[in-house]
Amino acid sequence: MNLTPEEYVNQLYKDDEQLEQVKESIRELGMPEVSVAPAYGRLLTILVQTSRAESAIEIGALGGYSGICIAKGLPVHGQLLSLELKEEYAKLAKENLEIAGFGTCVDYMIGPALDSLERLKQDGRKFDFFFIDADKENYPLYLEYAIQLANPGSVIVGDNCFLRGRTLNPEKNGPAVQGMRRFNEQIASDDRLVSTLLPDYDGLSISWVK
């Protein structure tokens, strides 16, 4: 029987021990097992590294899986700012980044990401890399903030663009689906961006800020 594309890719790459430990810690605490897919985690590292990003933001820390992937691509003096709604999730992510050796390059802002982003905008902060991976209904707003906080040449990545098929199903029209459709349409048409949407796993958008 044929392997699925995901199975085929997964068997080519050895499990990363640090990242497996993050998944285990998430399971132990009964947190949702929704870390970014391993192949997209590797892509995050490559995108951070090849874009030469020095400052990154992720929206949605969970247990630190994507945080480690992003931190791996940063230079020694690079910084990751991780926005997370739940204090207990940020605590676990912080612990896992420390175990992985990235404790000094990550900071957390706890609370609704829209509040944190507004504060960063008021403070005139700028970043080189963005990973959007939190509540789906706010993706269009997260994208607008990312563009406003972006240095020219920044990269903005968004996960779960297909919402496990719901985005593609015309009978599904809940707030998350509507938000995700708007986000996908925005990245495809916004003149400030050059974008693509990868049609594998749960859909991953990649945009380059002009």
Ligand X SMILES: C[S@@+](CC[C@H](N)C(=O)[O-])C[C@H]1O[C@@H](n2cnc3c(N)ncnc32)[C@H](O)[C@@H]1O
Applying CB under 6 A, what is the total number of residues that bind ligand X? Answer: 19
Question: Closest Cα partner for 89 from 65, 115, 118, 114?
Answer: 65
Interface map 123-142 toward ligand X (x if CB under 6 A): ----------xxx-------
> Smaller CB distance to ligand X: residue 176 or 189?
176
Give the closest residue to 46 by CA, choosing from 153, 155, 139: 155
Residue with Cβ nearer ligand X (89 or 187): 89
Spatial CA neighbour of 70 closest among 96, 94, 102, 95: 102
CB 205 within 8 A of CB 157: yes
Residues 61-100 contacting ligand X, CB under 6 A: 61-62, 65-66, 83-86, 89
Under 8 Å between Cβ of 132 and 157: yes
According to DSSP, the β-strands at 127-132 and 55-59 are parallel
Residue of 60, 178, 53 whose CA lies nearest to 116: 60
The separation between CA 36 and the C-alpha centre of its own chain, rounded to angstroms, equals: 7
Instruction: Report in angstroms how near the CB of residue 110 gets to ligand X at its nearest.
Output: 8
Task: Report the alpha-carbon distance of residue 210 to residue 192 in Å, rounded.
Answer: 6
Q: How far apart are CA 158 and CA 187, in angstroms?
A: 10
Q: Which one, 101 or 152, has the nearer CB to ligand X?
A: 101
Instruction: Please identify which residue in 54, 91, 95, 112 interacts with ligand X, judged by CB under 6 A.
Output: 112
CB of 121 to ligand X, least distance (A): 15
Work out whether 113 is an interface residue with ligand X (CB under 6 A): yes
Closest CB to ligand X among 78 and 179? 179
Please report whether residue 105 would count as binding ligand X according to CB under 6 A.
Answer: no
Name the residue type at position 197. L
Residue nearest to ligand X (CB): 60
Q: What is the nearest approach in angstroms of ligand X to the Cβ of residue 136?
A: 9
Q: Give the sign of the dihedral formed by CA 145, CA 115, CA 46, CA 166.
A: negative
- Please identify, using beta-carbon distances, which residue of 54 and 135 lies nearer to ligand X: 135
* Closest to ligand X by CB, 33 or 185: 33
**Which residues of the chain form contacts with ligand X (CB under 6 A)?**
34-36, 58, 60-62, 65-66, 83-86, 89, 112-113, 133-135
